Amino acid sequence: MFVSARSDYALRAMLAVAAGGGGGDGDRAGELVKAASLAEVQDIPLSFLQGILLDLRRAGLLHSHRGADGGYALTRPADEITVGDVLRAVGGSLTTVRGLPAERAGYHGVAAGLTDVWLAVHGAIATVVDSTTLADLLTHAPSAVSTDAPLA
């Protein structure tokens, strides 16, 4: 899995919106957050962020309100939006092999077993990102992340 700047920025923006824009503990949750504020607080280029916010809105994760008092808000509670939801909204498939989703990687002969490896990798990643919500991250307690797992 490659985590692009776009995916990283999208998650940081969603967390800031979930926290009410303060980037803190969520005591301002529910407030509309302006794109410019998100860009400044999270140190994300505004022009890049605007495209990300559009993708998140199209995916049904954010809604926007126009006007002087406008901004962005989550469409669902933070405990109902997973890291996987956000990653798929801005990047498509969680894992790719040569630019294709892992399930479309096909091999023949001695390399045939690689398909199973890529699918297992995809499944492991999906397990973590689909069971970790924005609320988990705001409380610094991702539900599926184990410190017992080896890093290498």
Out of 25-39, 86-100, 119-133, pick the least confident: 25-39
How far is residue 131's CA from residue 81's CA, in Å, rounded to a whole number? 10
- Measured CA to CA, the distance from residue 112 to residue 83 in angstroms comes to 31
pLDDT above 90 for 27: no
Main-chain phi, psi angles of 37, to 5 degrees: -65, -45
Burial of residue 62 (number of CB atoms within 10 Å: 0-12, 13-18, 19+): buried
Q: Residue 30: which pLDDT band, with cuts at 50, 70 and 90?
A: low
pLDDT value at residue 25: 44
pTM of the full predicted structure?
A: 0.82
* Each residue's pLDDT tens digit, 111-137: 989 999 999 999 999 999 999 999 999
Q: Which residues does 122 contact at the CB level (< 8 Å), separation at least 6?
A: 94, 95, 102, 103
